[in-house]
Structure 1
């Protein structure tokens, strides 16, 4: 009873792209927040 284990796909590119997108969203959010605070 040996199960063939399929090779898992490489998800490093997905991790890097999601991380880059998250950092981009955070940076733009803080820039908009700074503009909002700077007006008052």
Structure 2
């Protein structure tokens, strides 16, 4: 029973990590796109 709980917590941490990295990539991409558009 405790083994299942540990796996759920591990997956939840993985989900948060992947989400954070994804948001970081999207923000940096939109910042670079905005800079590109502003120059032209």
Q: TM-score, normalised by structure 2?
A: 0.77
Q: Counterparts of 1:14 and 1:34 in 2: how far apart (Å)?
A: 30
User: Which structure would you say has the larger Rg?
Assistant: 1
Number of residue pairs aligned between Structure 1 and Structure 2: 35
Q: Larger % of helix: which?
A: 2
Gaps of 5+ in 2: none
Q: CA RMSD in A?
A: 1.5
Write out the 4+ residue segments of structure 1 that deviate beyond 6 Å after TM superposition. Answer: none
Gaps of 5+ in 1: 1-5
